[in-house]
Structure 1
Amino acid sequence: MTSQTYDANNIFAKILKGEIPCHKVYEDNDTLAFMDVMPQAPGHLLVIPKVGSRNLLDADPAVLAKLFPVVQKLAVAARDAFEADGVLISQFNEAAVGQTVFHLHVHVVPRKEGEALKPHSGKMEDHAVLAAHAEKVKACL
């Protein structure tokens, strides 16, 4: 097994530096949450720590301790905003399991029973839709 290093130029690091825009839902001193540009369901958002780590496997436990209460808070807000029956929380560690952006991130996906998830690749969602979805979640925080 080879250890991988953190790339400070990944897309989420660039979002944190303000080099790439995002549809921000929540921000505090330690975390940022924003809409996923290729959502698998309406309201799909991402929660990331501001401290760089490749994924959960190399993250500082103190960072995780600050991240997951925010994930919970946003899961409740997303559930309420989209009148979901449940919320899928997922987090991938390395390419072998589907991680494509190598900055620790947690997917928060509100789900309605009987509705299939869309693929997480391909067409980007319209920015007006993402902006409206961000506002819906913010209104429930």
Structure 2
Amino acid sequence: MRNGPCFVCEFVAGAPDAAHVTVYEDDEHIAFLDRYPTVPGKVLVAPRAHIEHAVRDLDESAYLRLMSVVRKVALAVETVVKPERTYLLSLGSQQGNSHLHWHIAGLPAGTPYQQQQFHSLMAENGVLSPTDEEAAAMGERLRAALQG
């Protein structure tokens, strides 16, 4: 993700190599399952437009609309995953993943303290490998929670 085209822009454009399971979309935003989740049901929320800075590149109204989507999707993650805590982070940099996106990660209940917080989000500590069927089922449960 540090080399090549923007993975969010490629996904929004429908590039087959950038496919993800979509859980929410509207005219301005898209939410999709992380392809390399470190916790079950980890979702990324991004503006459809290539925006790089959460503060500088969004006026207050656009920022609040984006954060409303983040909250809505986070509530769906909480309904489906039933986490001990829900982490919301905007990560990325000019060196990689520059497209603004928010990570929504539900910390599984009972996770030992030493494996919580940033530790639970670092791919270096391992990623989950859901099958296509498992990812599709998770996406369906999240979409259903968003409808309810």
Which TM-score applies when normalising by structure 2?
Answer: 0.77
Counterparts of residues 77-116 of structure 1 (less than 5 Å): 77-94=76-93, 100-115=96-111, 116=115
Is the Cα–Cα contact under 8 Å of residues 37 and 130 in structure 1 kept in the other structure? Answer: no
More displaced, 53-62 or 82-91? 53-62
Counterparts of residues 36-55 of structure 1 (less than 5 Å): 36-55=34-53
Amino acid in the other structure paired with 1:41: V
1:56 Cα deviation after fit? 1.9
Which of 8, 11, 28 is equivalent to 1:15?
11
In the alignment, which residue of structure 2 is the partner of 1:135?
A: 140
1:55 Cα deviation after fit? 3.1
Unaligned runs of 5+ in 2: none
Amino acid in the other structure paired with 1:79: E
Percentage identity across paired residues of the two chains: 24
| Alpha-carbon distance in structure 1 between the residues aligned to 2:121 and 2:47 | 26
| Alpha-carbon distance in structure 1 between the residues aligned to 2:143 and 2:127 | 25
Is the Cα–Cα contact under 8 Å of residues 55 and 92 in structure 1 kept in the other structure? Answer: no
Amino acid in the other structure paired with 2:12: L
Is the Cα–Cα contact under 8 Å of residues 37 and 124 in structure 1 kept in the other structure? Answer: no
1:112 Cα deviation after fit? 2.5
Q: Which has the higher helix share?
A: 2
| Alpha-carbon distance in structure 1 between the residues aligned to 2:56 and 2:134 | 34
Is the Cα–Cα contact under 8 Å of residues 24 and 34 in structure 1 kept in the other structure? Answer: yes
In the alignment, which residue of structure 2 is the partner of 1:3?
A: none
- Against the structure 1 CA distance between its residues 49 and 118, is the aligned structure 2 distance closer, same or farther, given a 3 Å change threshold? closer
Amino acid in the other structure paired with 2:96: T
More displaced, 51-60 or 75-84? 51-60
Is the Cα–Cα contact under 8 Å of residues 55 and 94 in structure 1 kept in the other structure? Answer: no
Which TM-score applies when normalising by structure 1?
Answer: 0.81
- The residue matched to 1:34 in structure 2 has which SS? strand
In the alignment, which residue of structure 2 is the partner of 1:4?
A: none
In the alignment, which residue of structure 1 is the partner of 2:63?
A: 64
| Alpha-carbon distance in structure 2 between the residues aligned to 1:59 and 1:93 | 15
1:8-51 deviations in Å (ceiling 9; x for gaps): 93111000111132100000111000000111100100000012
